[in-house]
């Protein structure tokens, strides 16, 4: 029986992870769970899975939850997230919180020698060098949950990294893939949240519309697979059937395919290196799909992808700024305070003003993350 610590249990990935656990009760049990503030969603999950540790974002939520349900211990904040991960009985930490808030818990989980299944890509974007260094030092497995990275991980199984010519990451194109740049000026939040292929949390859905999600994934791939940016290629593939591919030096290209359902990569991360049945997922029916399409990525149309490559190549603290500026700008867009195109303008501005630190330590990263968010927010004044 594997004991799971689940961070972000009330979110899109969190709920789908619990669905996997529900279907494999003999294999997995939920040892601890953390969420932010969504008590309504959390209470039935706590009643069903009976975790030993529950963590919430703040004291107010802690008090509300105490009044609603009889639990021995409700922890709070980033200290609570860490407690949920490092408890002796935990075998796997599945980190599915949204944003760089997941960084410290990821690092502590690694130090405690827990296997980490990582959905929280912002952790690798903001501090990939620290996370990978720690994983190497403590000999800990980092298993990708992001569908593209899970695909690549599966394709690389049994292969040698020196035989890889390039990674080919597929992008669905997000909600505005058929709009020209001139048509993006007046788009509203609800349109941006309407993703053609995947149902996900709000922030990543906006990231898909700006194509920043693919940029974050390029950086995520750079760190996870220890591969230079020149060997990471992105193509537009509308159907989200091929989740990503690897081209080897002999020109052989191997892909992983499936219906778009995050429970597949989530479960693979939890069962690795084994596989288990996943009956609730629809089988891939290629006869029904009939055709798959591929298009070249347009870096002028999607400047966020260009900025992510540039920040990644520049390295150091640039990706910390990229991530923090993006998180704050997307939040401001979701609050209705800025327009869609202002997201990319604010990120570009932060990147152009930043004085890069070559190899920032954790305190430098946390400080740059905070000041970048404050600066982006200050544009409202
Ligand atoms: P959601 O917004 O749906 O969920 C985020 C979760 O994190 C919620 O449970 C939320 O709690 C919790 N949370 C947020 N802030 C805190 C905090 N300070 N302390 C504790 N918990 C917190 O996001 P997604 O599930 O869509 O995405 C999660 C991560 O997975 C992101 O990094 C995303 O990029 C990545 N990912 C997601 C995919 C998807 O299909 N959704 C695909 C690939 C990657 P609450 O709502 O209760 O406040
Ligand atoms: Mg993805």
If one counts the domains in the chain, the total is 1
Phi/psi at 244 (5° precision): 165, 170
pLDDT at 72 over 80: no
The answer to whether position 42 is within a domain reads: yes
Q: Which of 13, 30, 82, 259 to mutate to test the pocket of ligand 1 (most atoms within 8 A of CB)?
A: 13
Q: What is the pLDDT of residue 73?
A: 81
Residue 372 Cα distances to 78, 306, 375, angstroms: 20, 20, 5
**C-alpha Rg value of the chain to the nearest Å:** 20
Q: Which residues contact 113 (CB under 8 A, 6 or more apart)?
A: 138, 139, 140
pLDDT at 113 over 90: yes
Sorting pLDDT into bands at 50, 70 and 90, what band is 159? very high
What are residue 32's DSSP bridge partners? 5, 53
Q: Which ligand is nearest to the CA of 106?
A: 1
Write the pLDDT tens digit of every residue in 320-345: 999 999 999 999 999 999 999 999 99
Which atom of ligand 1 is the closest one to the Cα of 123? 32
CA-closest candidate to residue 341, choices 350, 351, 329, 331: 329
Sorting pLDDT into bands at 50, 70 and 90, what band is 157? very high
The answer to whether position 372 is within a domain reads: no
User: With a threshold of 0.85, does the pTM exceed it?
Assistant: yes
* Residue 9 near residue 33 (C-beta atoms within 8 A): yes
Which atom of ligand 1 is the closest one to the Cα of 13? 25
From ligand 2's centre to the CA of 148, what distance in Å? 5
Write the pLDDT tens digit of every residue in 281-298: 999 999 999 999 999 999
Residues at CB less than 6 angstroms from ligand 1: 8-14, 34-38, 57, 96-98, 101, 119-122, 146, 198, 200-204, 262
3-state secondary structure of 314: helix
User: Rounded to whole angstroms, how far apart are CA atoms 350 and 307?
Assistant: 11
The answer to whether position 277 is within a domain reads: no
Q: Where are the alpha helices (DSSP H) in the chain?
A: 12-23, 39-49, 59-68, 77-86, 103-111, 122-137, 147-156, 189-192, 202-210, 212-225, 263-271, 286-289, 303-314, 318-334, 340-353, 362-378
The answer to whether position 347 is within a domain reads: no
User: Rounded to whole angstroms, how far apart are CA atoms 4 and 237?
Assistant: 34
User: Rounded to whole angstroms, how far apart are CA atoms 273 and 268?
Assistant: 8
User: Rounded to whole angstroms, how far apart are CA atoms 326 and 346?
Assistant: 8
The answer to whether position 28 is within a domain reads: yes
Q: What is the pLDDT of residue 301?
A: 95
pLDDT at 118 over 80: yes
The answer to whether position 182 is within a domain reads: no
Q: What is the pLDDT of residue 71?
A: 85
Q: What is the pLDDT of residue 91?
A: 98
pLDDT at 70 over 90: no
Which atom of ligand 1 is the closest one to the Cα of 262? 40
Q: What is the CATH classification number for the domain harbouring 78?
A: 3.40.50.720
pLDDT at 162 over 90: yes
Domain range enclosing 63: 2-140
**DSSP character for 231?**
G
- Average pLDDT for 170-184: 94
pLDDT at 195 over 90: no
From ligand 1's centre to the CA of 329, what distance in Å? 17
The answer to whether position 136 is within a domain reads: yes
Which atom of ligand 1 is the closest one to the Cα of 38? 47
The answer to whether position 62 is within a domain reads: yes
From ligand 2's centre to the CA of 100, what distance in Å? 17
From ligand 2's centre to the CA of 255, what distance in Å? 15
């Amino acid at each position: 029986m594997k004991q799971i610590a689940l961070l972000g249990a009330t979110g899109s990935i969190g709920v789908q992870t619990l669905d996997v656990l529900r279907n494999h009760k003999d294999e997995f049990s939920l040892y601890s769970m953390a969420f932010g503030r969504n008590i309504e969603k959390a209470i039935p999950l706590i009643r069903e899975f009976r975790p030993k540790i529950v963590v919430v974002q703040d004291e107010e939520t802690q008090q509300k939850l105490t009044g609603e349900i009889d639990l021995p211990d409700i922890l709070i904040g980033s200290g609570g997230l860490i407690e949920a991960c490092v408890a002796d009985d935990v075998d796997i930490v599945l980190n599915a919180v949204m944003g760089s808030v997941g960084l410290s818990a990821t690092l502590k989980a690694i130090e405690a020698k827990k296997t980490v299944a990582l959905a929280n890509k912002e952790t690798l974007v903001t501090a990939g060098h620290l996370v990978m260094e720690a994983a190497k030092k403590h000999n800990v497995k980092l298993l990708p949950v992001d569908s593209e990275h899970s695909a690549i991980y599966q394709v690389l199984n049994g292969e040698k990294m020196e035989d890889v010519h390039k990674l080919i990451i597929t992008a669905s194109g997000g909600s505005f893939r058929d709009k020209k740049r001139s048509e993006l000026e007046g788009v509203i939040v609800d349109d941006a949240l309407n993703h053609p292929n995947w149902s996900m949390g709000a922030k990543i859905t906006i990231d898909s519309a700006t194509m920043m999600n693919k940029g974050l994934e390029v950086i995520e791939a750079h760190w996870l697979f220890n591969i230079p940016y020149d060997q990471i290629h992105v193509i537009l593939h509308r159907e989200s059937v091929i989740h990503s591919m690897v081209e080897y030096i002999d020109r052989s290209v191997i892909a992983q395919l499936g219906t778009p359902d995050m429970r597949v990569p989530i479960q693979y991360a939890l069962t690795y290196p084994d596989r288990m049945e996943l009956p609730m997922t629809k089988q891939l029916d290629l006869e029904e799909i009939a055709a798959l399409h591929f298009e070249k990525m347009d870096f002028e149309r999607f400047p966020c992808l260009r900025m992510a490559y540039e920040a990644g190549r520049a390295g150091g603290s640039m990706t910390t700024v990229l991530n923090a500026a993006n998180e704050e700008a997307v939040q401001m867009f979701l609050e209705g305070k800025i327009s869609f195109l202002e997201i990319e303008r604010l990120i570009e501005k932060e990147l152009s003003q930043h004085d890069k630190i070559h190899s920032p330590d954790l305190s430098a990263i946390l400080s740059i993350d905070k000041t970048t968010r404050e600066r982006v927010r200050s544009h409202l004044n």
